[in-house]
Amino acid sequence: MPVIANEPKKYSDVFAFSVSELESAGYSTDVVTVNQAAAEFTYGTLLGQVTVGGKYKIWDSALTDGAETVAAIVAEAITIPATTDTQVLVMKRGPMTVKDAGLELNGETLADAKAGLEALNPPIVVANAI
């Protein structure tokens, strides 16, 4: 069957609660600096933190600069213009559960994403459905 329309991903595709509900419950939201070549970040994009300088970029297990380890989940849709420092809203720590279908894996495996998120302290648990 042909695709008739594509709806852009929204916050609730990844997170079960609003940002204000999560913050009031003590979950960790943060605004981080991303330095990435031009990119479209959507809800659920996984980020790694570069060791030198502490900025974030899209998680890639093949890197060796620190961004090979999952460090955060993007909690907004934002365009990064060229290579520039841009502030992005993220979730960095649990305990919380996110929807596996909402994660942007960028060529990585879901198993690796789950392991990386569950290694955070406190962990972010990835579930099939919430």
pLDDT tens profile 33-87: 998 888 888 999 999 999 999 999 999 999 999 999 999 999 889 888 877 889 9
May I ask the CATH architecture of the domain 11-127? Beta Barrel (2.40)
Amino acid at 97: T
Q: How far apart are CA 22 and CA 76, in angstroms?
A: 14
pLDDT of residue 23: 64
- Looking at residue 123, what is its pLDDT? 84
- Tens digit of each residue's pLDDT (9 = 90 or more) over 36-45: 888 888 999 9
**Length of the chain as a residue count:** 130
> Which amino acid is it at 79?
T
How big, in percent rounded to 5, are the helix, strand and coil portions of the chain?
15, 35, 45
